[in-house]
Structure 1
Amino acid sequence: MAIEINWIRDDASLARHCAEWQRLPYVVLDTEFVRVDTFYPLAGLVQVGDGSRAHLIDPLLIGDWSSFAALLENPAVVKVLHATSEDLEVFQRLAGALPVPLFDTQIAAAYLNLGFSMGYSRLVQELLGIELPKGETRSDWLQRPLSATQVSYAAEDVLHLAEVYQALQAKLPQDKNAWVLEDGAELVANQLRVTAPEDAYRDAKLAWKLAPAQLAVLRELCAWREREARTRNQPRNRVLRENSLWPLARYQPDNLVSLARIDDMHPKTVRQDGEFLLQLIKDAAATPPHSWPAPLPEPLPLEASALLKKLRAIGQREAERLDMAPELMLRKKTLEALLKSGFPNGPYQLPESLRGWRRELMGQALLDTLAGQPPGEQA
């Protein structure tokens, strides 16, 4: 059966279609992009499904994305995507907007205990009994013209995604549907949280091992790397490799020979930015103590692992009770943040990252377990 495809290749056509989509209860969305040598994804195609047709927007020909931004931000139209994290970056770059409300079919599948982080092809097979052809995700989506295989693949994606959404909606009870949308809102909120370059050092490997004077150097190195990656539109590791950051801050080389000997230091970095990096390290090392960052918290000790296991078991029990994928329940980072708030003797505080239905259902049980009483019993 031939697929009906509608190409959108100019601003007026996009505005006209967006006005029509604004009246729908939902639209399905997908993107194809290239991200090999760049910091930002390069959009090659945006697909929109209205439940019956596939619309392919050529981003190389669109100059005005305001109508599409209005559609993304319309709270009356549910935006349906699958495994949406990188798509959000594409929408933010193209339209300066993010999809709300967002229904991620991969998350919905986990709420129905079909599987966690389920691939799109497998979900289509599971719900629709359709075996999709091998994907074109690694092909060149910036080439023009696109191949017939690429076009067919992109169009089929949104046509089947609409059917997947309808099948999931038929199975999802009202509370779980609300939770899927809650998690979608969290994905959007995370995309909007931009870490300041000056705070990037907090996420560097082994940063907790450094003294405040060394952290001052690491802070400047990470901030420079973050800004340069964005300015040059290159991956962070192309600017300065992750594994070089800690030894640079620890040993603080003062000449090009020493710099070149740093772990995982790329020769091109030494040639292109070596002198600058040496000066940056020297200047950062000379900053007064009052401007140094505070020491970073150490990882949890081994003796916390038994307690971590107990806390994870609370999520496991709730997952079984609700017939959901256990990975949905309590994220490891959340449990570690909870333990770090008071380990080993308390008192403990629920972290800000434990929000919504998870906090409501499991927050008190977590605190009770840490206080040494069985979940649900009053002190």
Structure 2
Amino acid sequence: MSTLTPPKAAIPQPEELDPVWLETPQALDDWLAAIPPHGPVALDSEFERSTTFFARPGLVQIACGDQAYLIEPTVAASSQGFRRFLADPDRCKLLYALSEDVELFREWLAVDVKGALDVQLAAALAGEGLSVGFARLVSRLLGIDLDKGLTRSDWLARPLSQPQQQYALADVVYLLPLYQQLHERLAVSAQLEALQEESERFCADLAELGNPETYYLRVRNGWFLSPTQQALLQRLCSWREQRCRELDRPRGRVVADKLLLGIAEKQPRNATALGRLPEMPPVVVRKHGDAILTLVEDTLEHPSAIVDLIAPPLSREEQRSYKQVKELLEKALVDSPVPVELLAPRRKLEAQFRDSLNSGQVPQLLTSGWRSTWLGPVMPQLEDLFSHG
């Protein structure tokens, strides 16, 4: 994937943007085929997801060089060239806080986005702050003030107003000069590899989050359940994920996590016992009771070992070791703009921490890729800490 510096261009004010639409799949295919093969392409989407499981696409925005367009979802969905573009690992695609867009394209178009770079992540690596908002970064780096009052517009309604179209177009028009500035700074600090590696990791993590069989690992306080109870929780979560997809309803409107946790703990064997669980809505018993009770019965009568148990919180002793590790990480970054939370996300580091203490090995998160380079000066101390953990 190329991360070549994009060409400089004049930056228009939001009110100067003239929305233009690619109105047919063929027009989109032709445009994608005609743009330079190595230049970055800015990409964004607008969608609605308040009452459904799957996001409903409302608009796609795309820009390359001095060309920027709006695309109707029906046009994007009918374009084979657009699907190939999304899946092409050699075509650099710029997104901002890419998680929701990548998830939308995977669920809507059945495409795993490759070759994506997260410009918000680039900003964090350049020292602009972790998870800085798009409008704030545009103001800070480009000197342009954006009206974000249209953020919660109805993007499914038609026609879109002129201000809506200009707002949507701005999201991709300003991505290119933002990336240009950040690219230059990251090139000087030798962090372009980190940007590409982390963006790829984010996309891979998002793909795993969509796996119904592993959702149970995300249920809060699920760690206190026994292995048998966790096996039931896994099956309940997997069933609920499938039902949400079938009904296109959010998880909380089918059966909430805390209810599945209670079912896995108490293991009710009949509708009366199910209905007596704390905060159990009668509608859940009426609509889903038979399926839930069948899962309970089958799990208890045919127990099977669960592959991954939910890890409990770190003990006090482990917390002390974790604090020592974090101090070493902060020491390694003392002259760097990189936030320690980006170098070592707490959830990811904790997931490897206990096993690393037991094995005497530094967590793989800290010894692979760009992190190993940044942590080189403190790696002997990290190795010593874990070997005596």
Go from structure 1 to structure 2 and tell me whether the alpha carbon gap of 1:264 and 1:137 turns closer, same or farther (over 3 Å shift).
farther
CA contact (8 A) 1:7 1:57 kept: yes
The answer to whether the 8 Å contact 1:111/1:325 transfers is: yes
Distance of aligned partners of 1:353 and 1:37 in 2 relative to their CA distance in 1, 3 Å threshold: farther
Partner of 2:384: 368
Q: Which amino acid aligns with 2:313?
A: P
- Secondary structure at the counterpart of residue 155 of structure 1: helix
| Aligned residues of 1:204 and 1:245 also touching (Cα < 8 A) | no
Number of the residue aligned with 2:363: 350
Cα separation, partners in 2 of 1:173 and 1:318, compared to 1, 3 Å = farther
Q: In 1, Cα distance between the equivalents of 2:48 and 2:169?
A: 18
Query: Could you tell me how far apart the structure 2 residues matched to 1:100 and 1:116 are?
Result: 23
Report if the CA contact (8 A) 2:89-2:114 is conserved: yes
Unpaired segments ≥5 residues, structure 2: 1-14
CA distance in 1, matches of 2:366, 2:244: 28
Taking a change above 3 Å as real, the CA distance of residues 112 and 300 of structure 1, as seen in their structure-2 partners, is same
Deviations 1:202-254 (A, max 9, x none): 33233322223323322221121111112222222222111112211111223
The 5 Å alignment of 1:216-295 reads: 216-288=231-303, 291-293=304-306
Aligned AA (2:306): P
Query: For 1:155-170, what aligned pairs fall within 5 Å after superposition?
Result: 155-170=169-184
Residue in 1 aligned with 2:84? Answer: 70
Q: 1:342 to 1:68 in 2, by over 3 A?
A: closer
Structure-1-length-normalised TM-score? 0.89
Contact 1:121–1:132 (CA under 8 A) maintained in structure 2? yes
Q: Using the TM superposition, give the Cα deviation of residue 163 of structure 1 relative to its aligned residue in structure 2, in angstroms.
A: 1.7
2:199 is equivalent to residue 184 of structure 1: yes
Give, in angstroms, the shift of residue 62 of structure 1: 4.3
RMSD value, Cα: 2.4
Mapped to 2, the partners of 1:94 and 1:256 lie a distance apart of 37
Matched, 1:113 2:127: yes
Question: Separation in 2 of the partners of 1:257 and 1:22?
Answer: 65
Change in Cα spacing, 1:229 to 1:22, as seen in structure 2 (3 Å) is farther
- Asked if the contact 1:85–1:187 (Cα under 8 Å) also holds between the matched residues in 2, the reply is yes
Post-superposition offset of 1:42: 1.1
Q: 2:93 aligns with which of 79, 98, 105?
A: 79
The reply to whether residue 89 of structure 1 matches residue 103 of structure 2 is yes
Equivalent position to 1:214, from 225, 229, 232: 229
Percent identity of equivalent pairs: 33
Q: Which residue does the alignment assign to 1:377?
A: none
Q: How big is the shift at 1:117? A: 0.4
Comparing 58-67 with 147-156, greater Cα deviation is found at 58-67
Mind listing any 5+ residue stretches in structure 1 that lack a counterpart? Answer: 374-379
Once structures 1 and 2 are overlaid, which stretch shifts more, 359-368 or 246-255? 359-368
Q: Does 1:18 pair with 2:26? A: no
Number of matched residues?
Answer: 370
Q: Report if the CA contact (8 A) 1:65-1:94 is conserved.
A: no
Distance 1:238 1:327 in 2: 33
